[in-house]
Structure 1
Amino acid sequence: MNILVSSTRQWNPGDEFIRKGVERLLHSILGKGHNWLLWNRNPDLFIDRWADSRMRTDFLTNSLRDPALDVVDLVVFAGTPEWLGQPVEQIYRRLLTQPTIPVLILGAGSGSTMPQLAPHELEVLNRSNVFISTRSFDLAECLNAQLSTPKAIPLPCPAFYSASESDTQPERRRVGVIVQNSAVVNQSIGEELVQSLISALRDAQGEIDLDVISLYIDEHMRFSRLGLTHPCVYSYEPDHLLDQLAGYSTVISTRLHGAIAGLSAGVPSILLAEEDNFRLRSTQKLFGDLLPIITTQEAFRAVSEISLDAARQQSTAIRAFRTSAFEDMKRRVGAFLAEARPGR
């Protein structure tokens, strides 16, 4: 099969965790040995980043610039809010001419403003060979109100399946703190939260065994220059980061998909979030008590007090939930593909 995946490379690390989770899911259903084609939504490939997000045709990239669906057997939109709109409009318009190609929308997200489907999007999404899972209850309700037949199902974000399954437990108490910057366009948090995080990291020196983890290079440069005694960890490769996260007893993260990647490795994870971060808070609800949102001070106090045995017990509960959620999603997507691709 030729499988076209809409995602990003070398832009938003969360997108890479989502894509890896989607790949693990589809490998478990379809087996391996298929061809993976990329529709790369990295804004650097667009004509004018945020103003005109059509793909440039003069940019050398090892991904599709023209979604030539005549050779494609399956189209997959791998999460994030950009599963619709201008960055993927060409795919939808080509799907109008290829009505037999099944479409998987896995882990669709949104901002606080719920999307109004465009006519070409609505025509595609109303087909019987389109499967939609959302990572929030609100978005599923919004889409189902617009579709002729409700089909959007709220399920945990596929990034939850990004790490390899393992029963390995941490051998010591060590915390991974995933940080962010306030200066990276479209990847930032408020400077007030950044400063509270820096203050907590300074106070934790000599008190908590931890690493400072950056998922984006600008964050790594800033935090590496603070003179902290904590090691600063960074990689451009998601597999390296997943291996790193698996070694902690607890993860604290300002990044939603950093925390979910931690959970995927079976590591108890805590989110730090601003009150107005709808995207983060709406996605977190599907994880319930397994992904708490608390203040910076509460998070650092919690990791200083939790025992290794308690962290291991939490890890066991996370792994059990992951197994159950993965099997549920595998069953749903597997049944859809069996019907959408009869005889294959």
Structure 2
Amino acid sequence: MKKNILFSTTRQWNPGDEFILLGVINVLQEILGDFNSIIYNRSPEVRQVKGYLNPFRTKEWTNRSFSGKKNIEAFFRIGFYDNSFKENMDASFINYVVFAGSPEWMGRRSSPLYDVILRYKIPTVYLGIGSSNVITYNMIKERYRTVLESSRLIIVRDEATREILQPLNPIKLSCPALFASKEEKEITALQKIALIFSTHKAVRSNRVSQETSAYLVSLYGALMKSYECEIVCHYIDELPEAFHLFPGCQIHYSYDSRDYLEIYRKFDFVIGPRVHGIGICASHGIPGILISHDLRADTAHGFGAKIISTGTNISEVISLIEKSRQSLGKSTEALRMLKREMKTEYLQYLQKVL
């Protein structure tokens, strides 16, 4: 009988979360075969930070019918229509809960899920989780510690999270976005570069600083003069800005995160500030340079990427690209080996607990 796995992730919010989920599912299928994938959707459009305080975000309210209901829902965001797990559901059918990457493995948006895990005693694993804040283990609330301490497996993707969870002896491996693509491409020459665009004009939590935004525009303009480059946007707010800033340049975007497998497959190299854009390229065997702008940059080490900071001299970036051009074959093969080694380790750990 097919198992039911509940994944903590986001949908239609940050494609990076969905790249991670693709990789997690690919790995789990090698162990469990076919299963039913269910998501606990942490997208802020679905679950606001304090949404758990709203007693009307339930299936019961959604099913009610009376005059004026639609007006109330429009003004107060009442009801729950998303095709994802609702915390007041009977969760006895869930076999496992999997936290699929992301720094949001605890917090108010995840709090209702922890209540469900504790209430139904659901076996839980954490795969490739990271951190965007510096805290200590003792600062984690008891309900989260209870689930963490009883979890079957904790794999982290960065040093900061390993330090935070050090009392639990977590395992540090590459982020599962490395497994998003099942196949790698052959790269024999550096012909086309993907430039991942971000802007300070996007919504909070999906934007970069104004300083980073200005640096990207300057850097990408310079690179377009020397290389064949195309722009890739992950979030809708970036799209009109990209068309305004880079007229005449090919610009890629899709609402469907799976489309990025084919979008990025067209390229031989990638540069940008989005960690998991670098990650999904690494899953193809495409090397890259991450432009660091927050604590999550450490994750890119697990993708074999070079990491630079905002403001790095453009001549230095070009030098890195040229060095990569000279050793492109070796870099691609190194990524293939990294992917194989990491998958082997993931499978070994997961086979012991599932």
| TM-score category, normalised to shorter length | 0.7 to 0.9
Secondary structure at the counterpart of residue 71 of structure 1: coil
Query: Which residue of structure 2 aligns with residue 341 of structure 1?
Result: none
| Alignment check: 8 A CA contact 1:250 1:303 kept | no
Residues 121 and 236 of structure 1: CA distance in aligned 2, closer, same or farther (over 3 Å): same
Counterpart residue number, 2:286: 267
Aligned: 1:22 with 2:32:
no
Query: TM-score under structure 1 normalisation?
Result: 0.87
Q: 1:51 to 1:103 in 2, by over 3 A?
A: closer
Secondary structure of 1:217's counterpart equals coil
Does 2:200 align with 1:182?
Answer: yes
Who is 2:43 aligned against? Answer: 42
* Residue 113 in structure 1 maps to residue 114 in structure 2: no
Q: 1:170 to 1:240 in 2, by over 3 A?
A: farther
**The one of 124, 133, 158 aligned to 1:103:** 124
Q: Is the 8 A contact 1:131 1:151 kept in 2?
A: no
- 2:314 is equivalent to residue 291 of structure 1: no
Alignment identity in percent? 29
C-alpha separation between the residues in 1 aligned to 2:269 and 2:40?
34
In structure 2, distance between residues paired with 1:272 and 1:248: 18
CA deviation string 1:152-206 (max 9, x = no partner): 1111111111112235335651100111011221111111221122122223344
Paired letter, 1:284: A
- TM (norm. structure 2) is 0.85
Flag structure 1 segments of 5+ consecutive residues without an equivalent: 338-344
Q: 1:54 to 1:167 in 2, by over 3 A?
A: farther
1:180–1:233 distance in 2 versus 1, CA, 3 Å? same
Match of 1:342 in 2: none
* Stretch of structure 1 that moved more, 221-230 or 18-27: 221-230
1:143 to 152, 165, 172: 165
Cα distance in 1, alignment partners of residues 39 and 286 from structure 2: 30
Please tell me the residue identity of whatever aligns with 1:144.
Answer: Q
Match of 2:15 in 1: 13
Residue 228 of structure 1 corresponds to which residue in structure 2? 247
How far residue 320 of structure 1 moved from its aligned partner, in angstroms, is 0.8
CA distance in 2: counterparts of 1:325 and 1:304, whole angstroms: 26
Q: Is the 8 A contact 1:106 1:158 kept in 2?
A: yes
How far the C-alpha of 1:292 sits from its partner, in A, is 1.0
Deviation at 1:44, TM superposition (A): 0.7
Task: Please list the CA deviations of residues 27-57 of structure 1 after superposition, one character each: whole Å capped at 9, or x if unmatched.
Answer: 111112x1111110010112xx345466833
* Structure 1 residue 138 displacement after superposition: 2.5
Aligned equivalents of 1:142 and 1:221: distance in 2? Answer: 39
Report the residue type matching 1:72 in the other structure. Answer: I
Unaligned runs of 5+ in 2: 59-78
